[in-house]
Amino acid sequence: MTKKVDFNLQSEKVQKTPIVNVKANYYLTQTAKFFGTYPSPGPGDPATFFSKGNSKSGGTSSTNTSTHWGIDANRPNYKYKLTSPLSGKENDTISDASTTIAFLFGYDAAFGSYSATETTYVEDLLPGDTYKNIEFEKNVTIRGTHLYKDGKTPVLRQNYVDGKPTNCYNPTQAGYVNFDDFFTKREAAVGQSYEDFKASLKKGEYGIYKNPNGDIRLVMNLGKVGSKDPKSMYTWGDLCDKVGKEKVINGFFPTYDITPDNDLQRVQIPVDTIYDQIKDWPITDLNFVFNADLVKPVMRTGAYVENTATISDQSVTARNFFVVGDISLYTYKDGAAILKTDAKTGQGVEKAEFKLQEKAPAGNWIDTDSQYVKDHITIVGSNGGSKVGDRLYTNANGILNIRGLLNGKTYRLVETKAPEGYDNSNRATRS
């Protein structure tokens, strides 16, 4: 016969074939008109024209054994002015594609604010006591530009609300490339330090370095984005060399004619018309996602793990949350069980020490006879924890499951010692 016990204790802890897929950010509806010729745009306020940022995102995992992370690295933001070809009204607009700005305002406007001497590294440290491996989802996302049939003018989209022209902007072309086509993987030499391995990476290369202590370190090299030297930057020409310029140009720089009713009609122009313009432009930014398996499962809903990435010395942190189904600890009729979890991560706390107490006739709690615990209290199965003398210990997943209790008595488990690295001042007690 079994019974369900709901103890839950928490502690505080001190493909080789190149693939280019495309998704566009415009919609062919009657709420917009498109133009290939329009008034020249203006850069706006120089103080706010350019900015860039990095971000990291977590999520809510569908499993309690793995995490999911996204990194947005070196994302630019350009603020400039466009004049409506219909109303003549000027409006502020933004773009997150450096290629759009290069076509509109020239190379220096698009790339001149990036460091000419600093190598852009994307790094992420996954502590070995939490994570045991890393697996990339297959794609890297980058951004190109919708171009007019002349191959050099970004298309303008004019929005409409209630039949009246409102704001206008230049649509960008977000698409993705197979991760292992975009980057070339390198392995660290035996005995090579992380810093030496990082320094050995060339533009467009990445590696996964494993420290002797089990820590996993991801590092990528995007080159010196602002150097103006194609040999020092990861350029669109480099990507064309890897996956084919037809795939890159047709995928990220589609060209259009404008129909009489101001809709878009895809047209093909010679690939080299665009390639010759963009081959030496740097790929400034990217987005990618990866999964990292946990050393041990999360046992409690609402728990989370944090992780920090570093892009060009800027740290960005995110949390991955977990939704865990009810975890039931079933015991024998003469037994009891507990689940002890880390208050932050929700992972089980291993080697938390407990003693067994029983209620005396007078109503006070006393330690159960030490010899009785040694002789008669047993651990249930191979995953129920452990016993040393008269002390009881949780297993790797924070579970302690015992039997051998006498009928008619009231028992409780009292924490006597927290595992190394945990606060010992707030000990758990469960009846």
Arithmetic mean of pLDDT, 421-426: 69
Task: For strands 60-61 and 314-322, give the pairing.
Answer: parallel
My answer on whether 63 and 157 are in the same domain is: yes
The pLDDT value given to residue 344: 74
Higher pLDDT pick, 106 / 380: 106
Q: How confident is the model at residue 157 (pLDDT cuts 50, 70, 90)?
A: very high
Higher pLDDT pick, 137 / 15: 137
**Rg of the chain on CA atoms, in Å:** 30
Structure-token pair, residue 310: 């570093």
Higher pLDDT pick, 426 / 381: 381
135 pLDDT higher than 80: yes
The pLDDT value given to residue 52: 94
My answer on whether 297 and 359 are in the same domain is: no
In a domain, 396, yes or no: yes
The pLDDT value given to residue 338: 82
Structure-token pair, residue 389: 């003398």
My answer on whether 359 and 258 are in the same domain is: no
In a domain, 334, yes or no: no
Question: What's the one-letter identity of residue 99?
Answer: T
Highest mean pLDDT among 43-47, 150-154, 358-362, 374-378: 150-154
Containing domain of residue 87, as a range?
Answer: 10-14+18-322
Q: Residues 356-400: pLDDT tens digits?
A: 999 999 999 999 999 999 999 998 888 788 999 999 999 888 888
The pLDDT value given to residue 34: 96
The pLDDT value given to residue 59: 79
In a domain, 225, yes or no: yes
The pLDDT value given to residue 222: 96
Residue partners of 191: CB distance under 8 A and separation at least 6: none
216 beta partners: 126, 210
Domain end (from 276, 306, 322): 322
My answer on whether 226 and 134 are in the same domain is: yes
The pLDDT value given to residue 300: 78
DSSP strands (E only) in 12-62: 20-24, 32-35, 50-57, 60-61
Higher pLDDT pick, 61 / 412: 412
My answer on whether 283 and 363 are in the same domain is: no
Question: What's the one-letter identity of residue 196?
Answer: D
| Number of folded domains that form the chain | 2
160 pLDDT higher than 90: no
Arithmetic mean of pLDDT, 275-280: 98
Whether residue 283 contacts residue 252, with contact meaning beta carbons closer than 8 Å, is answered with no
3-state DSSP assignment of residue 315: strand
My answer on whether 27 and 174 are in the same domain is: yes
Distance between CA atoms of residues 61 and 404, nearest Å = 38
My answer on whether 289 and 356 are in the same domain is: no
Residue partners of 212: CB distance under 8 A and separation at least 6: none
17-26, 197-206, 227-236, 332-341: segment of lowest average pLDDT: 17-26
Distances (CA, A) of 182 to 80, 238, 314: 30, 9, 23
In a domain, 103, yes or no: yes
Going by C-alpha positions, the residue among 38, 87, 110 that lies closest to residue 281 is 110
3-state DSSP assignment of residue 264: strand
155 pLDDT higher than 90: yes
Going by C-alpha positions, the residue among 327, 289, 399, 286 that lies closest to residue 66 is 289
Q: Residues 225-254: pLDDT tens digits?
A: 999 999 999 999 999 999 999 999 999 999
The pLDDT value given to residue 202: 97
Task: For strands 90-95 and 66-83, give the pairing.
Answer: antiparallel
In a domain, 88, yes or no: yes
24 pLDDT higher than 50: no
22 pLDDT higher than 80: no
In a domain, 80, yes or no: yes
In a domain, 284, yes or no: yes
Q: Give the mean pLDDT of the chain.
A: 88
24-38, 195-209, 260-274: segment of lowest average pLDDT: 24-38
User: How does 140-166 read in b/e, with b if 16+ C-beta sit within 10 Å?
Assistant: bbbbbbbbbbebebbbbbbeeeeeebe
Q: Residues 188-227: pLDDT tens digits?
A: 999 999 999 999 999 999 999 999 999 999 999 999 999 9
My answer on whether 368 and 410 are in the same domain is: yes
My answer on whether 305 and 360 are in the same domain is: no
My answer on whether 357 and 285 are in the same domain is: no
Directed axis angle between helix 236-243 and helix 271-278, to 10°?
130
My answer on whether 371 and 312 are in the same domain is: no
Whether residue 320 contacts residue 69, with contact meaning beta carbons closer than 8 Å, is answered with yes
269 pLDDT higher than 90: yes
My answer on whether 212 and 295 are in the same domain is: yes
Backbone torsions φ then ψ of 273, nearest 5 degrees: -60, -40
Arithmetic mean of pLDDT, 290-302: 86
pTM of the entire structure? 0.77
In a domain, 281, yes or no: yes
Distance between CA atoms of residues 316 and 300, nearest Å = 26
Looking at residue 407, what DSSP letter applies? T
